[in-house]
Amino acid sequence: MSAALRIGVTGLGTVGGGVVKLLGQQADILEQRCGCRLELVAVSALEHDPDLDLSAPRWFDDALALTADPEIDVVVELIGGAEGIAKAVAESAIANGKSLVTANKALIARHGLALAQAAETAGVQLCFEAAVAGGIPILKALKEGLAGNRLSRVYGILNGTCNYILTEMQESGRSFAGVLQEAQALGYAEADPSFDIDGVDAAHKLAILTSVAFGCPVDLDALHVEGIREITAIDIAYAAEFGYAIKLLAIAELTERGIEQRVHPCLVARNAPIAHVDGVFNAVVAEGDFIDQAIFEGHGAGRGPTASAVVSDLVDIARGIRVPSFGLPVAALQEQPLAAMLDHVCEYYVRLMVLDQPGVMAEIAAILRDESVSIESVVQRGRAPDEVVPVIIITHDAGEAAIRRVLDQFSQLEVVVEPPCLIRIETL
């Protein structure tokens, strides 16, 4: 090993600034643990925190020029986005014989296989621990610590913004819109929060987790994705009454029909460990034939935790640890059958907002009967004639296709005044 691992960082936003800070503050301990210095020699960004000490590294106005510098061993891409300059930086770094470290889940979910193949061909490394669950070292755990297991299911809370919103709704009884506004004011949600609250961020992370857990190619388009926009304070309250919490879960599971990959709100029993993961925290649960169950919890985002994950990849490179990007060489990743979401079977929570009139329950029951969907419990608390009231239905196990037909028919009833709300009940 040379005296130093020479690092170039592109992108000096929240995470990039954290990496610069960590490399500086922890320089001594990192050198002791790696056997060489982790030396920041170059940076490139459109803007940066003026408090960052950038007196030592060379500045590049052109990020692509940085990737071609022969004085750099590893390029860290922290620009973000699946296309454009971030993709160009990643491809150029590998083409120039440099290992690449990134926190860019969108890039890896869309182009990770091509980048991994290019890295293998070039004899360099592609590392992206920080792309999934921030400071939780879940990819290393799956690729290394749990390598002796055949995994059957991996699931978790992969988006801190959604978890914060659902937690605050549960604890305060406030509306989704009100808590979202607070999350934006606190910096937990972006000005345009759709990437988080519509489930896209969690989907990118789950696509990567699925590949690593099950040795298959990344397939973002195979995921079923729903967000939390339609969750109301009414749903939170009734879920608690039935003994559940509502969480946005990302789930990859081996079934007889193939691999299910889905992101959506779930009712989870209050005695399930993941039901108690609150606020901006993330958690991932891995189930395998020898470990039974392993639970990982921690900060899933933020400057410090994500920078810690980025630097953990730099440490591996400095130590000479070489593990395939997805746990297996790209050529060894095997296509797996994909389980169709319409074939999914579970219990369901359904909320209808209806006019409180005689005969409403009879119409609802007839539709469920005709689709062979059995009711486990139902709650209707009327107030006055023609007032809009919630009807809450918990079903026994039913097929996804049947429950969607039920919802379509519910929507056509004159007494149903807004689109039905459907939340799956997950057994964990």
pLDDT value, residue 426: 96
pLDDT value, residue 169: 95
Q: Which domains does the chain have, with CATH numbers?
A: 4-134+321-325 (3.40.50.720), 138-299 (3.30.360.10), 342-425 (3.30.70.260)
Distance (Å, rounded) from C-alpha 413 to C-alpha 119? Answer: 57
Q: What is the DSSP string of 100-155?
A: EEE--HHHHHHHHHHHHHHHHHHT--EE-GGGSSTTS-HHHIIIIITTTS-EEEEE
pLDDT, tens only, 150-193: 999 999 999 999 999 999 999 999 999 999 999 888 888 888 89
Q: Which residue has the tokens 């029993």?
A: 269
Cβ 311 vs Cβ 19: under 8 Å: yes
Q: What amino acid is encoded at 166 in this protein? A: L
Cβ 133 vs Cβ 296: under 8 Å: yes
Q: What is the mean pLDDT of the chain?
A: 94
Q: What amino acid is encoded at 93 in this protein? A: A
- Three state DSSP letters for 265-308: EEEEECCCHHHHCCCCEEEEEEEECCCEEEEEEEECCCHHHHHH
Q: Which of 98, 105, 205, 247 is catalytic?
A: 205
Q: Which residue has the tokens 């006055």?
A: 384
Catalytic residue status for 205:
yes
**Residues of the chain with pLDDT > 90: what percent?**
88
Query: pLDDT category, 2, cuts 50, 70, 90?
Result: low
pLDDT value, residue 17: 92
DSSP 8-state code for residue 342: G
Q: Which of 407, 195, 188, 382 is nearest to 300 (CA)?
A: 188
Query: What's the pTM value of the predicted model, to 2 decimals?
Result: 0.94
Taking 60 as the threshold, does the pLDDT of residue 1 lie above it? Answer: no
Find the mean pLDDT for residues 15-19. Answer: 93
pLDDT, tens only, 109-130: 999 999 999 999 999 999 999 9
Find the mean pLDDT for residues 193-203. Answer: 95
Q: Which of 312, 306, 318 is nearest to 74 (CA)?
A: 318
Distance (Å, rounded) from C-alpha 314 to C-alpha 303? Answer: 17
Q: Which of 95, 273, 265, 128 is nearest to 207 (CA)?
A: 128
| Coil, strand or helix at 201 | helix
pLDDT value, residue 52: 82
Torsion of CA 282, 288, 292, 297, to 10 degrees: -10
Taking 60 as the threshold, does the pLDDT of residue 15 lie above it? Answer: yes
